[in-house]
Structure 1
Amino acid sequence: MLSADLDDILEDVFERVSKSRIFKNRDVLMPDFLPNRLPHREEQIRKVASVLAQALKGYRPNNLFLYGLTGTGKTAVVKLVTKKLSEKARERGVRLKVAFVNTKRDDTPYRVLSKLLENIGFRVPPTGIATAQLYANFKRLLDKRDLLLIIVLDEIDYHVKKHGDDLLYKLTRINEELRNSKVSIIGITNDVNFTSWLDPRVKSSLSEEELVFPPYTAPQLEDILRDRAQMAFEDEALEEGVIPFCAALAARERGDARKALDLLRVAGELAEREGRNKVTTEHVKKAWEQIEKDRVIEVVRSLPLHSKLILLAIAKLTKDGTVTYTGEVYKLYKEFTSDLGIETLTLRRVSDLIGELDMLGLISTQVVSRGKRGMTRVINLESDYKSVIKGLKDDPRVAEIAGLI
């Protein structure tokens, strides 16, 4: 009987989704989909293409550094331009290779170098070779290939903040050690203050050309969504106000096109699961709540240990809806580091990390005067408390001292 009930449930779910008239091609709304055109990024495409075009004449293009908040089209522009560039290079017989590395995913110098070696045709064991030797192998094997190699380092700020800029320095200087091959580097970051972390020598070598990607406006996001929705949805599947509503919500969140597309996709999925044939603004509202919770959990999980401890302190101090201050956060953070038996960062460094949590949207801060006691920051928890705690629980060190186990 239970088996029959289960069969009925599954049959109902499968039938509802298979008969849905919502999606025509859901994949075009996924983050890894690369469209053939990028509305409102024509200027940036032209600039990136003009820098890289030197490769078609066999010259090494200048290094290029791209800044901009998440979802402003940096990675998509680079992928689109380098895809077309590679096609042109093949037509003209230019020995060009593009190596794309996401340094947040391949998050150690060893993994970055392994990825680069794989891109030029060499497999590397997961461990067992010293990083210095791996770099020497990369130089030697690259020179044997007689290539013009364009290295794209996406989310490079994560790598430098975690491991320093030693590998980046070596890569920006590698042409001095090559005889037959040439290397150009494209760095991509969401952190507009990223270069302040770099050694001046790395900064000058890396930033031969720079390009800032501004956030999308609500009308621009609307154009992007309409363009993609034509490919993604069946005719008449979207209620009239759905696209403007998605665009307005994403514009409020720093003009993030990726979030706008995710919002539209999840709204469609919710309508499909309900057996509806039309996506409404109510589905968008539900999708927004779901995405926000999921985003907070993912971001919290990815934080370094000390940032997690600072966020835990802020969450505990503001749990009842009250505000807290830098000094109070630092005092509780010191208790946590003492409990874990790890080094306590300085107040100045903790203040910097509070600023980074603010930039990520997990908290909000405001500098206020406390009279004779000087200036301080008022701190609020902006994200859902339960989502923050859920993200922190995944780190057993944090969960233990917070009593979350």
Structure 2
Amino acid sequence: MSDKLKEIFTKRRTTTRILLYPQYLSEGYIPEKLLFRDREVEEIAGHAADFLFSSIVKNLVIHGPPGVGKTVAVRMLERTYNEVALENEIDSRAIYISAKDLTYRRVLYELASQLGINVNLGMSIADIYDSTIMYMKEKESKYLIIVDEIDKLRKRPGEEPVDNLVYSLSRINERVGKVVVSIFFVTNNARIVERLSAPSFSSLSPIFVYFRNYNTDELYAILKDRVEKAFAPGTVDDAALRLLAALIRRESRDLRWAFLVLREAPNEAENGKITEKSIWRAVEIIERKVLNQVINGLDIDALLLLYALAVLTEKGHAQIDSSTLYLKYKELCDVLGWYPRTMKHTINYIGAKLEAEGLITRKAISRGRYGRTHLFHLEEDPTTVKNITKEIIAGRFNLSATQL
């Protein structure tokens, strides 16, 4: 055991000699220049400058697929905006809020808190909003409000959080009676804005700025730039970087995923060097970690249905229809003493949840006079899914994995 532990320490020591500055591979790192985004950055900076110097309100919707530089661009803008405002002695400030996993109320609370308003989460939405309006009426300041990841706002029953947030923020100038805010929203999905209610869309009057996907050569150049900053010289093969750039496109991944792989790769280095083999090994480890996180976020019924599908798939069932899958799910419920959901709920709702997570696919087929059914297909390795799911289920029920 002692030798094994020493081996781990030796391996980690080698890692620190390869990856010298891991901060350059973190999501929080904001570069001085965003490669291949000159046009987009100049456009959003131009609109921000119009607001800063001339109080011209232009509300933006910055959109595009994940991992294409949107967040980095607006964080760079926030930093530069505040520096320029200070240099020119203009009473204005850029405020950045990530709306990921926040409720509509919490976004308003975060805004008020950053303004220095005395609010608390026990206050109603109306009170938090009114406190913000009163504060802005009393001040001569103006604010560029940047709200990132609005498509990931948490939705509560009977609430349309994006519509409510857009309407509230875009009406601040009208409520205050003067120009005090310009709003930049950031989203992976522009349709979420296009589906706004007529009053919200009209009040926002958005200008859309699109961030396109990087091509493979651009991805390679960005990875090379980060590697040169983060790693010891000569420790990463060029072929390994080109492989990683190609995998981003082929596997429909993004740069954030690639940076995770690069942070893991030193642990798989050969003779102090990261090779294509190191990248493949790191990808496998990261994929398992990501899969583990996704499965860990599922509720009990979804876990049991996924486990049932993994078991049936591993046993070689060519076509797994709704009835076969539901019977296996019920069998697991009986073993665990868990009250099963109805077949309709399990197949239509829990199945849809697993499909939305990218874990399975379903295909509806007709069986003539016997009605319709679904054929289920597991998108991940069945043994891996079975082992991960079994361990999580056992933990939730305080069992050992051998009892399943």
TM-score range, shorter chain: 0.7 to 0.9
- Kept in 1, the 8 Å contact 2:149–2:186? The answer is yes
What's 1:223 paired with? Answer: 221
Q: Distance in 2 between matches of 1:138 and 1:388?
A: 50
For 1:48, the aligned partner's letter is I
Q: Which has the larger radius of gyration?
A: 2
2:360 is equivalent to residue 363 of structure 1:
yes
Deviations 1:235-255 (A, max 9, x none): 111123110111111112325
Q: Distance in 2 between matches of 1:399 and 1:207?
A: 52
- Kept in 2, the 8 Å contact 1:99–1:119? The answer is yes
Q: Distance in 1 between matches of 2:327 and 2:198?
A: 35
Could you say if the C-alpha distance between residues 330 and 41 of structure 1 is closer, same or farther in structure 2, counting changes exceeding 3 Å? farther
2:173 is equivalent to residue 175 of structure 1:
yes
Could you say if the C-alpha distance between residues 193 and 139 of structure 1 is closer, same or farther in structure 2, counting changes exceeding 3 Å? same
Deviations 1:373-404 (A, max 9, x none): 9998754322355458857987999979xx99
Q: Percent identity?
A: 27
- SS in structure 2 opposite 1:380? strand
Deviations 1:164-218 (A, max 9, x none): 2323322222221013552222222223542365333323444611123222222
Match of 2:40 among 29, 40, 44: 44
Gaps of at least 5 residues in structure 1 are none
What's 2:235 paired with? Answer: 237
For 1:245, the aligned partner's letter is L
- Kept in 2, the 8 Å contact 1:221–1:260? The answer is no
2:127 is equivalent to residue 130 of structure 1:
no
Gaps of at least 5 residues in structure 2 are none
What's 1:313 paired with? Answer: 305
What's 2:280 paired with? Answer: 285
- SS in structure 2 opposite 1:320? helix
Q: Distance in 1 between matches of 2:393 and 2:119?
A: 30
Match of 2:88 among 88, 92, 113: 92
2:186 is equivalent to residue 188 of structure 1:
yes
What's 2:68 paired with? Answer: 72
- SS in structure 2 opposite 1:237? coil
- Kept in 1, the 8 Å contact 2:235–2:273? The answer is yes
Greater alpha carbon shift after TM alignment, 198-207 vs 309-318: 309-318
For 2:273, the aligned partner's letter is K
Matches within 5 A, 1:5-404: 9=5, 13=9, 17=13, 20-105=16-101, 107-125=102-120, 127-159=121-153, 161-162=155-156, 163-165=159-161, 166-180=164-178, 182-195=180-193, 198-206=196-204, 208-271=206-269, 276-301=271-296, 309=301, 313=305, 316-317=308-309, 319-321=311-313, 322=318, 339=339, 350=349, 354=352, 358=355, 360-364=357-361, 379-384=376-381, 386=384, 390=388
- SS in structure 1 opposite 2:90? coil
Q: Distance in 2 between matches of 1:373 and 1:88?
A: 70
- Kept in 2, the 8 Å contact 1:392–1:398? The answer is no
Measure how far apart 1:293 and its partner are. 1.8
- Kept in 2, the 8 Å contact 1:70–1:256? The answer is yes
Q: TM-score, normalised by structure 1?
A: 0.78
- Kept in 2, the 8 Å contact 1:99–1:151? The answer is yes
For 2:138, the aligned partner's letter is K
Q: Distance in 1 between matches of 2:345 and 2:201?
A: 26
Q: Distance in 2 between matches of 1:100 and 1:270?
A: 37
Could you say if the C-alpha distance between residues 236 and 128 of structure 1 is closer, same or farther in structure 2, counting changes exceeding 3 Å? same
For 2:63, the aligned partner's letter is Y
Q: TM-score, normalised by structure 2?
A: 0.78
- Kept in 1, the 8 Å contact 2:108–2:128? The answer is yes
